[in-house]
């Protein structure tokens, strides 16, 4: 008899802004998927973009998660403390012949990605710098402009089955794993971290669905186990755009200022995906008892009633 798959989950906020109700609902769903399956739940702070990180936001985000009943196992992991691991992963890819330098400017990338180029969908980087001659590469090296590092993905097509979206597939372009300023890219860091934290099921917003083939391809090249995925619907504002601070009272602090308790906010989030009746305030334990990952159908993205 084969062992049951590890469903360890995670939530990974970036301390660049206050968590809004959409973020909190995604965190609650990720937590429910893990806890309802008897799995661990990890918390990771994605603070690689030092220029956008704001002091105090990490503590505020962790406090908001705790207030709605989301707890986690083990210490909080911070990407800024894991740069050596990302460098090691680049070393593995380089030794495997899977990296090449890219000197393209943003304008050149936009122009190249908008042109027809074989197997890759429009908008994907076509590997311009991968095809440079030795003379062309030497010319770019003499320019003094530091290159980014891209993977040589060979236009691989990666198929997977999303728990909520069903069978999916996508072509992997030569995406960046280290920027030209030396910063490690999101796709590299998230794959390395999920592998190191033993994440077996990634539950996140549907806006990240298209990045999944890249991350599965990269995990495979790094020899990491493939996680399963569930991409949950986003909370939208009244204008149909993804929820943001411009839409009004959309943070936990905003709702508390209007007289709601954290328990009421948790109930509102649960009711929006059919896990509670309107106005009900179930406890975290009650939500875990109600939640069936195999049967959960949250519906499409849309506004949060009453917000």
Gap between the Cα atoms of 39 and 200, Å rounded: 9
| Residue 106 CB neighbours (<10 A) | 7
Name the nearest CA neighbour of 89 among 146, 151, 42: 151
- The H or E element that residue 230 is part of is strand 228-232
Residues forming the annotated binding site? 10-14, 46, 102, 104, 125, 129, 186, 204, 245
Q: Which residues are annotated as a binding site for Zn(2+)?
A: 102, 104, 125, 129
CB distance 23 to 60 below 8 Å: no
Tokens of 6: 């590890």
SS3 call for 128: helix
Point out the annotated binding site for ATP.
245
For the chain, the 3-state helix, strand and coil shares in percent, each to the nearest 5, are: 40, 15, 45
Query: Residues within the annotated binding site for L-glutamate?
Result: 10-14, 46, 186, 204
């Amino acid at each position: 008899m084969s062992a049951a798959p590890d469903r360890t989950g995670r939530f990974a906020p970036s301390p660049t802004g206050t968590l809004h109700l959409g973020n909190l609902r995604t965190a609650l769903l990720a937590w429910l998927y893990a806890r309802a399956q008897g799995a661990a739940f990890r918390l990771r702070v994605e603070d690689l973009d030092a220029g956008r990180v704001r002091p105090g936001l990490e503590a505020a985000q962790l406090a908001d998660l705790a207030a709605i009943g989301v707890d986690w196992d083990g210490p909080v992991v911070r990407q800024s403390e894991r740069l050596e691991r990302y460098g090691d992963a680049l070393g593995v890819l380089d030794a495997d012949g899977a990296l090449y330098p890219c000197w393209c400017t943003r304008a050149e990338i936009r122009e190249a990605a908008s042109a027809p180029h074989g197997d890759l969908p429009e908008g994907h980087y076509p590997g311009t710098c991968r095809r440079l001659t030795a003379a062309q590469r030497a010319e770019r090296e003499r320019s003094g402009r530091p290159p980014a590092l891209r993977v040589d993905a060979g236009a691989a097509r990666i198929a997977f089955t999303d728990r909520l979206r069903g069978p999916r597939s996508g072509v992997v372009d030569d995406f960046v794993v280290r920027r030209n300023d030396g910063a490690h890219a999101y796709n590299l860091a998230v794959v390395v971290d999920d592998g190191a934290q033993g994440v077996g099921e990634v539950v996140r917003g549907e806006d990240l669905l298209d990045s999944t083939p890249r991350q599965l391809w990269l995990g495979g090249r790094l020899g990491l186990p493939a996680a399963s995925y569930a991409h949950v619907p986003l909370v939208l504002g009244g204008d149909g755009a993804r929820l943001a601070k411009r839409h009004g009272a959309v943070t936990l602090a905003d709702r508390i200022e209007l007289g709601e308790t954290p328990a009421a906010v948790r109930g509102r989030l649960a009711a929006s995906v059919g896990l509670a009746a309107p106005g009900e305030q179930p406890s975290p334990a009650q939500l875990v008892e109600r939640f069936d990952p195999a049967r959960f159908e949250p519906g499409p993205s849309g506004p949060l009633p009453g917000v």
